[in-house]
Amino acid sequence: MDGEELTEQETALYDRQIRVWGADAQRRLSKAHILVSGLKGTVAEFCKNVVLAGVGSLTLIDDRPVTEEALSANFLIAPDENNLSGKSIAELCCDSLKDFNPMVRVSVEKGDLSSFGGDFYDKFDVVVVSCCSQTAKKLINEKCRKLAKRVAFYAVDCRDSCGEIFVDLQNYTYSKEAIAVPWKSLPRRMSKLYYAMRVIERFEEAEGRNPGQTSIEDLPKVLKLRKEVCEAHSLNESSIPDLLLERLVTGTREFPPVCAIVGGILGQEVIKAISGKGDPVKNFFFFDAMEGKGTIEDISEPNNGS
């Protein structure tokens, strides 16, 4: 396709995966530039996957200092480094990731994700955000959409033993619509996790909390919010079980096996989108370890009512 041959070194290293997706896809991967923001366990898994796959470059954003929580599901940071330096999470992860595959350029960008302009996002083919508010996600998605170039946008989050991926490849519905779709028009068997995550997001926004900043004390307020939201959408409250909300409110830390699963699915989706092989998920993926299902929900056409 691009006329450039894979080097001998690349063919040897990527042998087993070229057998899965072909040499053309591998060449496309090696030219792709990926931005990630918010490096918790799930995103760390994702980064490992795309670095191993051999993308062109990976840029990390996460200025937060290392905390015990940041370490809990992140294998990219060794606990001793914690005390060593005033390095940010992104810097520490960068050091580890570089080591995974010398053929991938891994770097760190500092600053607040929301403050970057379109010209910044224009440098990337894929943008993945995590651990940020719903408002920030929408804002970034919007910026990516405004670019002439097609930039694939992903939002991912894991709480307790649940995980959610949102995908906007720009040929589908815009997230604002996808998330603001009237619930009545959604498929009858929509994942409960979809509704529950929207309630939690609204709660955190309304209370001015950071993502994941909740506890069991918040449950009564969350249940109250569920009632309001369900009424507004004419949805039966039982579609969002108490127990699920309780788990999401209390289990704010990630469960490492779920990070591996959701980070794996996300890696696979991004690889599909870049390489043009396979049909990418549109436009939500949900996983709950309690029931063990990894489900795809397509709400890009809210009126098909299936």
* Contact residues for other proteins, defined by CB under 8 A: 5-6, 8, 11-21, 23, 41, 45, 48-49, 52-54, 72-80, 99-102, 160-161, 189, 250-261, 263-265, 267-268, 271, 278-279, 281, 285, 287, 289, 291-297
Q: At what angle do helices 41-53 and 256-275 cross, to 10 degrees?
A: 40
Least distance in angstroms from the C-beta of 75 to other proteins: 5
d(CA 36, CA 59): 6
Q: Which is nearer to other proteins, 66 or 136 (CB)?
A: 66
Q: Which is nearer to other proteins, 75 or 120 (CB)?
A: 75
d(CA 192, CA 51): 33
d(CA 271, CA 156): 16
Q: Which is nearer to other proteins, 181 or 262 (CB)?
A: 262
Q: Which is nearer to other proteins, 101 or 136 (CB)?
A: 101
Could you give the angle at the alpha carbon of 74 between the alpha carbons of 70 and 77, nearest 5°?
85
C-alpha closest to that of 159 among 179, 182, 130, 121: 130
φ/ψ bin of 59: left (φ > 0), alpha (ψ from -120 to 50), beta (otherwise): beta
Q: Which is nearer to other proteins, 111 or 257 (CB)?
A: 257
- The most distant pair of C-alpha atoms in the chain lies apart, rounded to whole Å, by 61
Least distance in angstroms from the C-beta of 279 to other proteins: 7
Least distance in angstroms from the C-beta of 78 to other proteins: 5
Least distance in angstroms from the C-beta of 119 to other proteins: 31
Least distance in angstroms from the C-beta of 218 to other proteins: 15
User: Residue 206: which residues within 8 A CB-CB, separation 6 or more?
Assistant: 225
d(CA 61, CA 183): 33
Least distance in angstroms from the C-beta of 74 to other proteins: 8
Whether 217 contacts 194, CB under 8 Å: no
Q: What are phi and psi of 285, to 5 degrees?
A: -125, 135
Least distance in angstroms from the C-beta of 288 to other proteins: 10
Q: Which is nearer to other proteins, 23 or 139 (CB)?
A: 23
Q: Which is nearer to other proteins, 258 or 273 (CB)?
A: 258
Strands 33-37 and 57-61: parallel
